[in-house]
Amino acid sequence: MRVHVNVNRRAADVFAGLFKFPVFNAVQSKSFGTRRTTAPTGSGKTVLFELAMIRMIMNDSSKTAKCVYMAPTKALCSERFRDWSQKFEPLGIKCCELTGDTVTIGKGAWGEAHSSRVMYPEKWDSLTRTWAEHEDILARMKLFLVDEVHILNESRGSTLEVCLARMKLRGTAVRFILVSATAPNIGDIAAWIGRTGSLDAAAETFTFGEEFRPCQLKRFVYGYPRKQANEFQFQKSLDYKLYAHLQEHAVNKPILVFCPTRKGTLQTAEQLLKDYKEAKKGRSALPWHTPQKRAASRYVLAEAGIGIHHAGLQYGDRLLTEELFSKRVLRVIVATSTLAVGVNLPAHTVVIKGTQLYQNNGWSDYSEADIFQMMGRAGRPQFDKDGIAIILTDQADIKKYENLIGGQVNLESNLHHNLPEHINSEVGLGTITDAQTARSWLQNSFFYQRIQKNPAHYRLDKASSQSWTARVEELVTQSIQDLQDASLVAKEEDSDKLVSTEFGDIMSKYYIRLSTVSFSSRFAMHAAADRPLSLRSCAKRKSRLRLLVYNKLREHHDIRFKSSKVEKTNDKLFVLIQAILGGISLSDKEFDLGGQAHLDAIPVLRHCPRFARALADIGVIKQSGSLTKYSMELWLLNRRPPFGLEVLSAAKELPEFSLEILDSSIKTFGGKRDVECTITVQCTCTVEQSKQRRRKQKTALGPASVITVTSDDGFVDFRRIGRALAQEPKTFTIDAKLARPSQYIEISISADNFAGVAHVLTWKPTVDAREFPIPDTRPKTEEDLDVEMCMKDPDFWDSFNEAGEGMQTGMTDVCCTS
């Protein structure tokens, strides 16, 4: 079914220009007004958000309403932010982006956005944990937009669940719109979200099948036995299977191949090139033709129409790859999954080579959001009637991914895995005050909806005879007890009211786990310098760091606190943090033992400053001078060396000026007129070219300006000196007149290209006060005042100029006729 609605019937004329098409498609037309939508990727769900934003703005008479857009990845948030900023800012509607890369301190985190905020769940959860600090802004939130809501089914889903529950409880008349590419149990989400103004009614839902996709998508899942336990080896084995699938499914149209690692993209591309050349030599059918135009690339791959794309390439190389692919010079791009988000580069055929991703120092399954995002690149509505998505995976996972892409996997909650942390934050907010309010809060969750229908999923290792109500009671009781045992929450005297302790506030503020803050609160009063490092190493974040490289790394002479042996994750992180702070190059061949320590360092660097600040606060509470001191030092050292040395080197390259009076002469006239001074000035510029930056582009010094004024800002002299000043000093003479004994000369030299490097020299002649003219202190007469006014009146000078021009013209006429 196709239903088209004219744009101008739904949106005011001022907003109609936001849409680059004359009519909405069926999904957009039917969904306008809903609160929960599931529709295939590529069916235009983003436009639903834009329509909802326009509706909020049009219905907001107070002009104070605000909305939030939430997506699972920073790349998707950044894409929406750029797009909406370009669309809405010309209308005076500002957006701001809140992700891990943006400012998050206080109210400044909101920026100057008038209506829209773009963020991912963890950022919203972090901000709203201090609701009181942002209450004036949060009270104006009237629209809550959630993209890819099926992340509820992932480990991060608990954060999204808490964010929505918090807005339901604390928000005022908030309208929710949630969209997903797959949600078989959409009714459970609708029942959980509810309808504004009704406690029991479910949210309105719309479900759209594949027939609504503008470009039909054919999906194929192929599984292969895993003969090798090592995932890297399994990924390599898939390289040999890839070309045959392209021969079968590709029809000389653009192809995207997604690989789990950057190194893997090159390996896969090289194997494709080898297979392509063999097929071409044997006159076999080719899945793509060699491009007619030659690609301007240094890679042999490009000659066969193959390109690679990942974040490790130079920005210019990535842009060139995208441009050549769009122009059909490149026919195949082998990329990491980051290309699926943030870059609008669709293809006819998409291959997901392997369903595991190497990140955070280990292998893990692609999230459902990642799978659908990559598959969503298949099919180009403007060129193709269909698209093809191929998944290559382990033979044991074939059924799993067939069910996933067929929309047969129910969404489940993950709240029970992090329940103590979330209960702690709600105690700090005052939402939970005792066990009963904790149970009531949990009943307002998606977890509560699903445990009733699928209790077996939430029993974990408990006895199967346990009822779902008993399981809920057990989870609440155990979580509160864990928080009390860790001194994160406490009961008030003579009551059962729960209150957050100082340690609990730190855990909520810095977004750290229960086990981490519990361990740190047990630190001794006089902690050694390596204890903060040990704590950070015990944080439960990186449980799969590989051992191979770290036993070699621990022997490096720049490792300050030695370990006897690296066996556990704690030991690896303890060594890794020291290597980062010690400036050890983890990408050197010496440590290239398959452990990819330089990649391990990235997430560690991202989280260490936050943990260090939390440690410092814990040290203050425990009145531990050593813990506070060493944690503050770690916090200040959050930039990876040689960052500090590079700053110092850059500072040394700034020009350093000096001025010197070489000679001076003074003429006096017995007080009859101003004292005349002549001074000879030498200016010098020193620029140090540091060793650290010697190979890089030298600092562009540019010209320097020298201005000379009297102490009361009377102009004396101005001159500009070229960049040759850095090679040799320059000398010049200045003539000045001083009318009063209090006056002196001020000479200032500064670089035109740099601020804050000016040098000022003052010079005052040694002259008897009687040599200066006596100032005229008599009051001005009326005649003097009239003359002064005439001198300041522009009309006076204009009339004078006109009279002068007429006189000059008359004289010319006389001369010409003589």
Specify the pLDDT at position 339. 75
661 pLDDT band, cuts 50/70/90, is: very high
178 SS3 class: strand
Q: Residue 335: helix, strand or coil by DSSP?
A: strand
pLDDT of residue 572: 74
Q: Is 515 a residue whose pLDDT tops 80?
A: no
**Selected residue with higher pLDDT from 467 and 30:** 467
Number of Cβ within 10 Å of residue 418's Cβ equals 18
**One-letter identity of residue 229:** A
In this prediction, residue 785 carries a pLDDT of 76
* DSSP E strands, 320-366: 332-336, 349-353, 356-359, 362-365
Which of 10-14, 53-57, 331-335 reaches the highest mean pLDDT?
331-335
Please report where in the chains the tokens 């040290």 appear, as a residue: 619
Quote the CA–CA distance of 41 and 47 in Å, as a whole number.
13
| Token pair of 674 as six digits | 């101003």
The mean pLDDT of 350-365, rounded to a whole number, is 83
Residue 518 · residue 486 · CB < 8 Å: yes
Q: Per-residue pLDDT for 25 more than 70?
A: no
Q: Are 360 and 569 in contact (CB under 8 A)?
A: no
Per-residue confidence at 522, pLDDT binned at 50, 70, 90? Answer: low
Beta bridge partners of 727: none
Return the higher-pLDDT residue of 205 and 612. Answer: 205
C-beta atoms surrounding 83 within 10 Å: 15
613 compared with 197, residue with greater pLDDT = 613
Q: Which residue has the higher pLDDT, 213 or 671?
A: 671
| Most confident by average pLDDT, 272-281, 363-372, 376-385 | 272-281
Q: Measuring CA to CA, which residue among 362, 302, 317, 371 is closest to residue 340? A: 371
Q: Which is higher by pLDDT, 427 or 615?
A: 427
CA angle 498, 499, 500 (to 5 degrees): 130
| Close Cβ partners of 510 (under 8 Å, ≥ 6 residues apart) | 610, 611, 613, 614, 617
Q: Is the pLDDT assigned to residue 202 strictly greater than 50? A: yes
Question: Per residue in 448-488, pLDDT tens?
Answer: 999 999 988 887 655 567 788 888 999 999 999 999 998 89
Among the residue ranges 495-499, 505-509, 525-529, the one predicted with the least confidence is: 525-529
**Whole-number average pLDDT of the chain:** 78
The answer to whether residue 79 scores a pLDDT higher than 50 is yes
Confidence bin at 415 (pLDDT 50/70/90)? very high
* pLDDT given for residue 756 in this prediction: 81
What band does 627 get if pLDDT is binned at 50, 70 and 90?
Answer: low
Average the pLDDT over 340-353 and give the result. Answer: 81
Each as own residue / partner, the long-range contacts of residues 718-722 (CB below 8 Å, 24 or more positions apart, any chain) are: 720/752, 721/683
Evaluate if residue 294 carries a pLDDT over 50: yes
Give the whole-angstrom CA distance, residue 139 versus residue 265: 47
Give start and end residues of each alpha helix (H) in 349-493.
368-375, 398-405, 419-429, 435-442, 446-453, 468-485
Cβ 488 vs Cβ 517: under 8 Å: yes
Please, which residues bridge with residue 707 across strands? 718, 748
Share of the chain above pLDDT 70, in %: 74
Strands 675-686 and 656-667: antiparallel
**Which position has the higher pLDDT, 231 or 803?**
231
Mean pLDDT of 577-588: 73
Which residue has better confidence, 324 or 622?
324
526 three-state secondary structure: coil
